Amino acid sequence: MTQPIENKSGLSRRRLLEVLAAAPLVLSGCSSLVPGQGPPPNLYRLTPKPEIPDTVPKVDWQLGVEVPNAPASLDSTRVALLHDPSQFEYYARANWVDRVPLLVQSLLIEFFESSGKILSVGRDSSDVHPDYVLSTELRDFQMDYFPNPLPQAHVGVNARLISIRQRSIIASRRFDQLAPASADRIDAIIAAFNVTLGKALDEIVVWTIENGEADRKSG
């Protein structure tokens, strides 16, 4: 049995019925906010180009690259931004083609492969039998709108290189890169992400190979 509506507001019964009758009209005006009924987001992919120095040694060991850990604010397909350090926001109708940690993992593997400096590299779930595992954590992957007038693409990664043989961390480092956008437009923002992510991945590849090889020779 339907329970009677309790009127605690002091409205007359007639006025209360008028308010309730208007409610569906108010809700229908918000239909564009229902997921799937607005225009679909534009999808963007990142295509940084590796620039690994020739001086990096060529090594004969295998590497597993784990999916980076990330806070919930970055473990997303949405393109993040910060107008101040305390609050994450996202660009409207702009999404990455995949979750950010998966994008970074794929590009890291691509950079290692393109370098031609390592025997074999793959995802931690692949059939690679790694001598070392690269474990990373995304700390920054957003556009910073402070303190400069134009936004800067900010990529921050904490990395750890783990020896399977020793079952221990042999090296750890924080990588931090910034690249300003040429304008506050989505095309310029994606271009800035390509620059800053490319620099960060170049550094991670060089650091990983050099530290893995130093450990290999010392053992």
| Whether 100 contacts 72, CB under 8 Å | no
DSSP state of 72: T
For residue 8, with 0-12 CB atoms within 10 Å meaning exposed, 13-18 middle and 19 or more buried, which class applies?
Answer: exposed
16-31 pLDDT per residue, tens: 334 333 333 233 333 3
Burial 130-152 (b: 16+ CB within 10 A, else e): bbbbbbbbbbbbbbbbeeeeebb
How long is the chain? 219
10-63 pLDDT per residue, tens: 444 444 334 333 333 233 333 333 444 678 999 999 999 999 999 999 999 999
Instruction: Quote the pLDDT of residue 20.
Output: 34
| Whether 83 contacts 143, CB under 8 Å | no
108-157 pLDDT per residue, tens: 999 999 999 999 999 976 667 899 999 999 999 999 999 888 899 999 99
73-97 pLDDT per residue, tens: 999 999 999 998 889 999 999 999 9
Task: Give percent of the chain above pLDDT 70.
Answer: 82
d(CA 209, CA 211) in angstroms, rounded, equals 6
pTM of the model: 0.82
Q: Domain residues of the chain, as ranges?
A: 59-218
Instruction: Quote the pLDDT of residue 86.
Output: 87
196-207 pLDDT per residue, tens: 999 999 999 999
The model's confidence at residue 173, banded by pLDDT at 50, 70 and 90, is: very high
- Joined tokens for residue 206: 């060089």
In this structure, which CATH number among 1.20.910.10, 3.40.50.10610, 3.40.50.800, 1.10.3720.10 belongs to the domain 59-218? 3.40.50.10610
The model's confidence at residue 3, banded by pLDDT at 50, 70 and 90, is: very low
